[in-house]
Structure 1
Amino acid sequence: MKKSYQIILGVIVVIVALVLGIHALNSSKKSAESATITVGSMNTDYQVWKHIAESKEAKKLGLKIKVKSITDGVQLNNATAQGSVDVNAFQSWSYLETYNKQHKKTKLAALGTTYYEPMGLYSNKYKKVAEIPDGATIAIANNPSQAARGLLLLQKAGLITLKKNFDSATGTTSDINANPKNLKFKEIDDTTGPRVLKSVDAVIISNSVAFDGGLNVLKDSIYHETISKNTKDNINVLATAAKNKDNKAYQKLVKLFHSKAIQAYVNKKFSGTKVEVKKPVSYLED
């Protein structure tokens, strides 16, 4: 009888332990998903996420968001990998992939796509690409990734032809295979683009720099990028530590960004230059 009692008691103890364990696990999971999410960002993206954090849409989804400004991309990714930042909003898919190649032990994962900022070719002298004369000087960024992207834009515009093995991340003017108009290239700090417009025939300027300089890539450039399979690497994403990619609360941030009210704000605030891209991450991986 005593032995049976001990067996029953032992079974009860095991069951109670299992129930408590499951309850603790669920509580921990629920707590983690309802906790304040720290979103790290910079420049214009910081403005966007400050607005999102205070929006009615965030409250409707039950999200508590704290926005943190970190002005260096590598530092921001490191902070995300280490956990002082939960999710970051600033980088393109290609930037994320490059970071992961260089930091294999602290990889990040994309939660979803956000928008695309077209790079543009601007000129105060000419209204069309065809008007650019022989021997014209084109200003390009001295930043390797921006310069390579700019050269691809010039190729798309029909001004140059690049070598077949051109590296879209590190390619330079030495990789130009054909230059029928004998264009000359002047390297500049990519933040000075709008200021050098008067001194050269044309300038390639990233969207954020152009916008800060009072230029709208969709209206003021004589040529600009469009979204395609060739430019999809430049689509921006929300990123988190790889281990957190299935966190439901973090995934809600993607839905929140694409809500009608938030997109209305972004379009008005940035005059349509942050082009919404609502694609699955698999689109970028193909």
Structure 2
Amino acid sequence: MTFGGIHMKKIVLSVLAIAIVAAGFLFFSKQQDEKKVVLGVSGQSAGMVKYVEKALNEKGYKLELSVAESTIASNEGLMDGSVDVNIMQHEAYMNQFNKDRQANLVKAGKPLFEQFIGVYSKKHQSLDELPDGAKVAIQNDASNTQRALRVLEQAGLIEVKKDIPKGETLTPLDVTSNPHNLEFVELGGGTLIESLNDVDIAVFCGLAAHKAGFKTEDALYKFKPNDLKANALILATKDGNQDKEAIKIIHDAFESKESAELVKEVSGGTWFPYTGD
């Protein structure tokens, strides 16, 4: 009987020891997860995070990159919690995403970078060479379609409605003057570069152009946005996360001089520090 009691005691103690070890492991794993920060980036911007990672490591955080094929995919990661914060979009894009998806993404801190936007071509050396009925590739999501039309208007190729209802964005249907009878080809952002083999001109951001081998001086027209804030690149996150320490560290690190120099180098000068208020 005593032997059996001692045997049972040993079993109970062994079970308790295993439980304590398991609980400790789970606690450690939870702590590790809490110190891991997932930053959403594009394949083009993944090389810009060296000093962000350094700043996070100094505070005990581990940086993990989530390289997404599209901003939509990264934003879906923000919504489901698999991504903590991303740097892939301007505020106008985020606001449109929120509207379309009933999402609650917010900007963390002030805008970080302005980006070069231009009109590019493989067929023409100047906008003056455009033939009547020229094909123009523009991005097909609402905020970037509007921006592309603004670029073309500023370049003197078209005119668009001056007043649009609040909450709505410009579409090709809002073009009021099109003297060259331009034909608009709306495409996903990832296919704009490839479209240059088939269209006369395309409007896209300088980072994509840099990746494709273009230089900023190759642009037939360089956009000068009237609204710097709406067009500048931001850190986006799910509402409620914007004041977390790790996200503030990321924001401050991107604002540092050393990060600005790295971003300029990696982007070929197409991303540069935000100069607005």
TM range (shorter): 0.7 to 0.9
The aligned runs of 1:88-237 (5 Å cut-off) are 88-104=86-102, 106-112=103-109, 113-124=111-122, 126-129=124-127, 131-132=128-129, 135=132, 137-141=134-138, 143-145=140-142, 146-166=144-164, 170-180=169-179, 182-187=180-185, 189=187, 190-197=189-196, 200-216=199-215, 218-229=216-227, 231-237=228-234
Which whole-Å CA distance do the structure 1 matches of 2:73 and 2:194 have between them? Answer: 29
Aligned residues: 243
Q: What's the offset of the Cα at 1:84?
A: 2.4
1:269 aligns with 2:262: no
Q: 1:127 to 1:171 in 2, by over 3 A?
A: same
SS in 2 for 1:44: coil
* Residue 46 (structure 2) aligns with: 46
The one-letter amino acid paired with 2:220 is I
Superposition deviation, residue 172 in structure 1 = 2.8
Note if contact 2:90-2:232 (Cα within 8 Å) is conserved in structure 1.
yes
After TM superposition, where is structure 1 displaced by more than 6 Å over at least 4 residues in a row?
31-34
Q: Classify 1:197/1:250 alpha carbon distance in 2 versus 1 (closer, same or farther; 3 Å).
A: closer
- Give the secondary-structure state (helix, strand or coil) at the position aligned to 2:108: strand
Structure 1 alignment gaps of length 5 or more: 1-30
Give the distance between the partners of 1:96 and 1:224, measured in 2 at CA.
23
5+ residue gaps, structure 2: 1-30
Matched, 1:35 2:35: yes
* Alpha-carbon distance change, 83 to 63 in structure 1, aligned in 2, over 3 angstroms: same
How far off is 1:213 after superposition?
A: 1.5
CA RMSD of aligned residues (A): 3.1
Letter of the structure 1 residue corresponding to residue 266 of structure 2 = K
The structure-2 alpha-carbon separation of the partners of 1:59 and 1:175, relative to structure 1 and needing over 3 Å to count, comes to same
SS of structure 1 residue aligned to 2:202? strand
TM-score between the two structures when normalised by the length of structure 2 = 0.74
Q: Percent identity, aligned pairs only?
A: 24
Report the CA distance between 1:240 and its aligned residue. Answer: 1.7
* 1:84 partnered with 2:82: yes
